[in-house]
Structure 1
Amino acid sequence: MSVIFFMIGISLLMALGFLGAFFWSMKTGQQDDLYTPSIRMLLEDDAPDTPKTQSNAE
């Protein structure tokens, strides 16, 4: 019977830990934009950098 009380206590501590982590993530803005990261690979990047040539204005 004491094992059941121990397991209930551990499960409550874990639930409180997950709840605290959820509130921390909401406070720090971790959940602000969930849509853009999933389509970021489909968006067009900027043009690649081209090597600059040296001018002959020495």
Structure 2
Amino acid sequence: MSIIYFLIGCSVLMALVFLGAFFWAQKSGQNDDLYTPSMRILLDDEDELPSRTDKK
């Protein structure tokens, strides 16, 4: 029966750690811009494309 109390204590502690990490992420601005990252994959990066003028 004492293992149940230990597991409940561990789960409450783990939940508080995750809750603290969530609030820290919100406070530091992790979710400020949700639109730009989803659109970034649709745009081509022209700097990384090989040049076509190098043909021999």
- TM normalised by structure 1 equals 0.70
Q: What runs of 5+ residues in structure 1 fail to find an aligned partner? A: 49-58
Structure 1 runs of 4+ off > 3 angstroms?
Answer: none
Q: Are 1:37 and 2:19 counterparts?
A: no
AA of the residue aligned to 1:22: F
**Bigger CA radius of gyration:** 1
Q: What runs of 5+ residues in structure 2 fail to find an aligned partner? A: 48-56
- TM normalised by structure 2 equals 0.72
Deviation string for 1:3-44 (max 9, x for gaps)?
000000000000000000000000100011122101102135
CA RMSD of aligned residues (A): 1.5
Q: Distance in 1 between matches of 2:3 and 2:38?
A: 44
Calculate percent identity across the aligned residue pairs.
68
Corresponding residue SS for 1:42: coil
Number of residues of Structure 1 aligned to a counterpart in Structure 2: 47
